[in-house]
A and B are shown apart, each in its own frame.
Chain A
Amino acid sequence: MADWTLFEVFIRSKHGLNHKHVGSVHAADSEMAIENARDLYTRRNEGVSIWVVPSASITATATDEKEALFDPSDDKIYRHAGFYKLPDEVGHM
C-alpha cells in the first residue's frame, strides 16, 4: 500500500452548487479513492456527490510567484463595483 496514489477529494454538499475541496485520500485507483472518500468525508451527512482527482494531475501556483501573480490586484480598487450608488429600492446586493 506504500505505492498507493494520493487523490484530492471534492464534495458537493446537499445545498451547495459546486464541489469543494475537503482533503485527500490514498487509494490504488480512482474507484477505490471514491470509496475511501465516501468513508472518510461523508460520514456525517456532508455530501451528495464526490469527485476525486489524482493529486499529481493538479497544476498549482508556486508560493514564490505569489507577489507577481496576486499583488498587482491589491491597488486596483476600481475593479470593484463599490463606486456605484445603489438606488434604495434595490436593497442588499
Chain B
Amino acid sequence: MSNVRISDKILLFLIFIMVPVALYFAFAYAPEERVMGVVQRIFYFHVSSAWTSLLSFFFVFVGGALYLWKNDKRFDYFAYAAAELGVFFCTIVIVTGPIWAKPVWNVWWTWDPRLTSTFVLWLIFVAYLILRSSLADHPAVRKYASVYGIIGFIDVPIVYLSIYWWRTIHPRVITPAKVDLHPKMWYSVLICWATILLLYTVLMKLRIRMERLKEEVQILQERVQED
C-alpha cells in the first residue's frame, strides 16, 4: 500500500467514520415516516445517489468540453471516470427506486417523468461507455467520447421537458419554493449525501489514476516493441 497517498488515507479514514454515522442517521436518527413506514428510509440513499449521479454526468460534460478546448488528456480521464461512476450511482437510483415504489405506489415501475428521464439519462451514458469500449484503440476515442458526452448532457433538459409534459406522480419532496421534509430527515439526507460524495471523491481519484497508469503502460509497451 506504499503508493497510497496521505490525502487518500485521510479521505479513507473519513469514510470509515462517516459510513456508520450516515447509517445511524438514516436508520435511527431520522423519524419513521407515518404512512410509508420503514421502507421510506431508502430515500436517504436513493436521493443522495441521484444527486451524485447528476453531478457526475455534469462532470462528463465539463471534462469533455475542457478536453476539446485544451486538448489535455487529464480532462478526458476525468470525464471517463465521471461517466463510469455516474452510471454506477444512477444504477443505484434505478434499483432502489422500484424497491421503494412497490410497497408505496404498488407498482415496480411507472413511466413517470422523473423515473423515465433518469432511465433515459442512464441509457445515454451507458451508450457513452459502449462507445468508449468499442473504440478502445481508435486514435480519436477521446474526441468522440467528449463530443458524445456533451451531446448527451445537453439532451438532459430536453428529455426532462418532453417527458414532463405528461402527468407526474413522483413525490416532489424538494421543490425550489419549500422543503417538504421534517428537519431531522433533512439532516439525514445531507449527511448521507456528504458520505456518498466522500466515497465518490475517492473512487474518482482511483479511477483517474488507473486511467493514467493504463496510458503509461501503453507508452512503455510501445517503447519495448520499438526496441
B is a partner of A: no
Q: Chain A: residues with CB nearer than 8 A to chain B?
A: none
Q: Chain B: residues with CB nearer than 8 A to chain A?
A: none
